[in-house]
Amino acid sequence: MAWFLAGPYFAHGATGAADELFRQQCAALAQNAEKSKAMAVTGKEGWLFLTSELRHLGAGQFWGEAAIRVSRAAGPEAVDPLPAILDFNDQLKKIGVKLIVVPVPPKAVIYPEMLPGFTNGNEKARLDNIHQEFYGILRSNDVAVLDLTDLFLQNKALEKGPFYCRQDSHWSGSGCVLAAEKIAAAARAALGDSAPRTNVFRGDWQTVEINGDLWRALNNENIPREKLRVRKISIPGAEEPAGTDAESRIILLGDSHNLVFHAGEDMLCSGAGLPDQLAFELGFPVELVAVRGSGATPARINLMRRARQKNGYWKNKKCVIWCFAAREFTESDGWRKVPMPALNQNTEENKP
């Protein structure tokens, strides 16, 4: 199958044709990897790409009537992400809470030049018109979407290293930092907070060696482990980091992109993940509601349970930042509507 990204489409910048060729390549790479039951595809210079993410990029449109064809959801009632996202936004709007949807761009969209076979491409050109179309639909329905793709593409030469781990399926320490700067600005705008921030947090750049999930999947310890830079966040004089607080006005919701470099152990290190970087940028901690699995439905179920267990949970909440891998639009176990407890519902009545 001829799926190499070469030829005049890329040389002359015909975006639509480039997008289509990119989708074809991603689909072919994913199909070949799935046949051999490989979790990852090996790219150039030691880069590894998650098979399911490449499948997502090769799927094309993933909402409306097309969703049933491309979704990995368990049942047909939950294949389309659009109704679930709109419903969640409407529920939060009714109780005066701002939703900001932050899909994490796929690694291959930011670093397509590291895919096997990609040649003659413009490394700063977007190859995800499907995502852009979907985000436009969300915005037309009054959903705030923070698309980090252009930000990442335009800043790829930053000295702190790539925005994604080469040997892991998550963004890198520098990716967390750049994302946090943009997310914090959006959150402050949602809070109506224009005052200069007073920051008790300190950030120190360090080099760490990681056991990336894609590196582990190769099951070859002869391949050197990746080293990368992270910004460790701390409060001078405090024994424990304080990047999260259940009483915060801001909720950070989603998948393991909110846990990597924060939770330690299989999440690579602690004190340097998105919650920590947001605390540094905002000057105060956020409440974290994140899962190691899917940030689509399970994360919202966890939020629902937390709200049910605490009377008046929503009283001081102002903003929910819903951050999850863009691949979840097709690769999650489903997008179900999850009813959130109303602002003044009683604790006993709403225990799960």
CA distances from 330 to 68, 83, 117, 238 (A): 10, 14, 24, 42
Q: Find the range with the poorest average confidence among 136-145, 156-165, 196-205.
A: 196-205
Rounded to 5°, the CA angle 336-339-342 comes to 160
* pLDDT tens-place string over residues 304-321: 999 999 999 999 999 999
* pLDDT tens-place string over residues 41-94: 999 999 999 999 999 999 999 999 999 999 999 889 999 999 999 999 999 999
Contacts of 167 (CB under 8 A, 6+ apart): 46, 48, 210, 212, 214, 215, 225, 226
Report yes or no: 24 and 302 within 8 Å, Cβ to Cβ. no
pLDDT tier for residue 135 given thresholds of 50, 70 and 90: very high
Report yes or no: 105 and 327 within 8 Å, Cβ to Cβ. no
CA distances from 294 to 228, 233, 264, 327, 336 (A): 26, 26, 19, 10, 12
Q: How many CB atoms lie within 10 A of CB 202?
A: 14
Q: How many residues are there in the chain?
A: 352
pLDDT number for residue 158: 77
pLDDT number for residue 101: 98
Q: Please list, residue by residue across 159-182, b when 16 or more beta carbons sit within 10 angstroms of its beta carbon and e when fewer do.
A: ebbbbbbbbbbbbbbbbbbbbbeb
pLDDT number for residue 241: 62
* pLDDT tens-place string over residues 278-288: 999 999 999 99
CA separation for the pair 269, 252 (Å, rounded): 19
Q: Which residue has the higher pLDDT, 286 or 197?
A: 286
Tell me: pLDDT of 138 over 70: yes
CA separation for the pair 259, 13 (Å, rounded): 37
* pLDDT tens-place string over residues 90-126: 999 999 999 999 999 999 999 999 999 886 566 678 9
pLDDT number for residue 133: 98
The two three-digit tokens of residue 305, written as one number: 């349970």
> What are the DSSP calls for 88-103, one per residue?
HHHHHHHTT-EEEEEE
Strands (E), 31-146: 40-42, 48-50, 98-104, 144-145
pTM over 0.85: yes
